[in-house]
Amino acid sequence: EAGVTQFPSHSVIEKGQTVTLRCDPISGHDNLYWYRRVMGKEIKFLLHFVKESKQDESGMPNNRFLAERTGGTYSTLKVQPAELEDSGVYFCASIRYSLNTEAFFGQGTRLTVV
C-alpha cells in the first residue's frame, strides 16, 4: 500500500505570505496527526483529526494556522500570514487504531520563512 505522502517537500516563502501544506494519509487510516520539528528539537504535536473531525488542536501555535480534512481523506495545513518562527519541518502521520497504534510518517515538508 502507498505510504503517507506530503507535498511540497520544501517551501521557501517570504514573511507575510501564505503557504498550504498537504498530507495524504494511508487509505483507511482514520487518525491523522500534524507535527512540527524545529531546528532538530522535539517533535511537537500540532493537532489530531479523526476522520474529518478535529479531535485535539491544542498544539496549534496561534490562529495563523488552519488545518482542514474535508471528507476525512487528505488534510491541509495553511499558514497565513507566515512568520519567521514558523520555519521548521512539518510532519504528517496516520494511524489505524483498529489494527495497532503504529504511526506512519510522511517525508515531511521543510518550510523556510525568510
Q: What is the full DSSP assignment across 35-56? A: EEE-TT--EEEEEEEETTEEEE
Which of the stretches 13-21, 48-56, 66-74, 77-85 binds another protein when contact is defined by CB under 8 A? Answer: 48-56
In terms of C-beta density within 10 A (0-12 exposed, 13-18 middle, 19 or more buried), how is residue 16 classed?
A: exposed
Q: Is the dihedral of CA 80, 86, 91, 92 positive or negative?
A: negative
Minimum CB separation of residue 107 from another protein in Å reads 5
7 binds another protein (CB under 8 A): no
Q: Which of 23, 33, 60, 75 binds another protein (CB under 8 A)?
A: 33
Closer residue to another protein (CB): 15 or 54? 54
Residue 75 one-letter amino acid: S
Output the smallest distance, CB 33 to another protein, in A. 6
Residue 98 Cβ vs another protein, minimum distance, rounded to whole Å: 13
